[in-house]
A and B are shown apart, each in its own frame.
Chain A
Amino acid sequence: DFILWTYRKWNTKAKELEGYVGFANLPNQVYRRSVKRGFEFTLMVVGESGLGKSTLINSLFLTDIYNDKEYPGPSLRIKKTVSVDTSKVLIKEGGVQLQLTIVDTPGFGDAVDNSNCWVPVTDYIDNTFEDYLNAESRVNRRTMPDNRVHCCLYFIAPTGHGLKPLDIEFMKKLHEKVNIIPLISKADTLTPEECKQFKKQIMKDIEENKIKIYEFPDTPDDEDDNKENNAKNTPVPQAPILEVNGKKVRGRQYPWGIVEVENLEHSDFVTLRNLLLRTHMQDLKDVTNNVHYENFRCRKLTQVTSGDQKPSRAAKASSKNPMSQFEEEKREHQTKMKKMEAEMEQVFEMKVKEKRKKLKDSEVDLQTRYEQMKISLNRQQKELEEKTRQFEKEKEAFRQKEDELKRRQLDNAKTLDMNKKGKEKKKTSLF
């Protein structure tokens, strides 16, 4: 995601000033300060060996950044794996001092198996971003060393057909990390028509693969063929000074003619130099700082501060800063806890009520049972009393009967006795 780089909005009607105040001098103050500071620029060159990278750099800056003896170019330094090397030079011109850092990648694309040969490059760029991020985020930030790559010149071999898979893959991996300027190298092997065709094909390939290369912002005198200008072609001019038509020029001498480096009809070298150094160097730095670095920072901080959260939540958090994010999380957590507390309280109350009710119910139940038992007991007691009373009555009645029986028995016995006695008398009397 590209962050839009917008200029500050302005009131079209600014206040009319009467007389000269003097802040129109501000640009001069800025000029002075920038010269006092000096400038820095980091340029990366990537391409297979032998495509003329070192010669181009030397020609661009008109100085021997690479020379065969002490500082050989990348093609002469190939090792087994792709490495990323930097060399710093300080150059002065017209009172302006520029510290130029050239980053080259010897070994790129030169192996048989070039899978992932861009990884050292992406790692290097990410590391410089990370270093800058750490430096920017320190509490004490007196100096912020800036090694970020401002521009990457990508060298395309002059096949005339289109981009190779390696080219496409590299650009896709790097277009959101650095400003890419693709160059057709050794273009003195292409005729103008072939060149035009090649450029068209390259731009088509780039568009099809949705690669975002650095687009030079419109300069007032550059209305035509801006798209084509985006793929520049250059020859390999570490050219000695020759004489052509009485003028001294840099060029490559062939049996069939001289290719002039600075001839616009022969190559885009001049266009490249103008755009890269004379008009858009500052813009390259700005785009690196405001777009590529901010993208990196945004991604990195999102990853760091919400590592365990869901991606949707992380996306929402990106507009805040991590500190306020903590605050918000704290507040969210508090509300969550309040809710949880309320819920738990509710559940607690409910359970207590349940238990109390159960207790009450069992009390009532026991009470009822006890009452019933008591009632039945009472009833039984009453029955018993009744029975006892009746029994007493019976007993009484019976006793009476018994008494009578006893009396009759006694009477009978008396009668019997008397009869006996009578009989006996009779008996006795008879004789």
Chain B
Amino acid sequence: MAEIRAEEQTLAISKTFLIKPKLKPKARTLPQTPESKYWSSFKSTQIPNLISSISSLSFSPSPPHPFAAAYSASVSLFSPLSLSDGDVSPSSTISSFSDVVSSISFRSDGLLLAASDLSGLVQVFDVKSRTPLRRLRSHTRPVRFVKYPVLDKLHLLSGGDDAVVKFWDVAGESVVLDLMGHKDYVRCGDCSPVSPDLFVTGSYDHTVKVWDVRVEDSRSVLEVNHGKPVEDVIYLPSGGLIATAGGNSVKIWDLIGGGRMVHSMESHNKTVTSICVGRIRKENCGDESMEDRILSVGLDGYMKVFDYGNMKVTHSMRFPAPLMSVGFSPDCRTRVIGTSNGIIFAGRRKGKENVESGGGGNVLGFESISEPERRGLRPTYFRYFHRGQSEKPVEGDYLVMRNKKVKLAEHDKLLKKFRHKDALVSVLNKKNRENVVAVMEELVTRKKLLKCVSNLDADELGLLLTFLSKNATMPRYSSLLMGLTEKVIEMRAEDIRSSDPLKGHIRNLKRSIEEELRIQHSLQEIQGIISPLLRIAGRR
């Protein structure tokens, strides 16, 4: 050990500095946080050409989590697997609707899909065969939302413009409960993830009501006032909190605490149209855990990610159209956003995060076949002599680091050998203008640049002139390159005159200089206009 220490102490004075381009100014914005990195890792694909706005998006709870999108008078099913291959056509489409579809919801096993439309009809489809199994007609006005309870396969919840919330028995196509209490259109609702009996609905009368089917006189258990027409309401996964969206704010309420408002997030500029729960993998001190976020989309075209643990907006994303609906798949791999102009922005992450399929693989009873036993290495094998080379260090091992090898670019090697002209030519051939300028600066400090220029032959001079004509007027480099251009033309006038291709380069150069001069002139004119304004502004 002592010897290793001694080895480590030897310092390398023999440093080699590479020729580096000048640093660029850094953006003022903070570097990406891990969270925003996560959210931007969803590789976005557009599903275009759907008619009208996407009113609702719903993910199937069963893997591989296909999602359904409701637009106009049809519902399309998309497979997330084909999305990652770039295929954006729907896997199947249900179009047996007489009016615009307003809301859709998968049953908890993913086999049935409920859809409501503006004619007041709620239909239940078999997802595979796409046939309507049940037609629930009782609403007198357009139905705005339909929802399958999370823990209940037999009932259905719907609400509409008649301000009535209905609790259906699906098999019998009959209404179990008519829940009255809202004074305006019921627009949204959600069922509790922890209890089959509890659900919330939100309405344009600014209130969100909590219902319990066990309560006898069909009155709401709890009521909170959002303050704006409620566009969307969801239960957060704990079941104790709900989030409501309305106006340009998203509010979080504590139901167990008696309907207390926990926080109000007001970072959207226009009406928030839809919210859903997203999940992110967090690594805290080594152990991984999933944390929940609220994804909200609004008419301002922004999707915001809200961390309701820290009450902070952690990410925001801009889309080029007003957004109508948002969905997040239970396996955390797909995020879809529907716009008002018939485009779905579907984002899909790489990786295999099977959050839900915990131990689901052995349902069929097959034991996984054990891998064939690895044969021991014997000296007759070639691999025997390479054994242990790919061994990873265990924690606690003392690591003797090998010095990092400095990679030298070709121009660096040539500069090291003091072959200045060759270095310049080699870097000019590489087409990386930052490096070219860096090499030129290095040559200036060695006082060899002009000598290099005088030694260039005709082809190499052409190369240099091409570079100069392209870059001489760039503000970042002009202080060096304009002077150099002048010198080059001065020094190599004879050669340029005698060669036609070089004359062409000079013409290009002239053109770019003239253009730059024009720009400068117009800038000066603008300055002339501005300076009196500035003076007046300064006097105030």
Genuine A/B complex = no
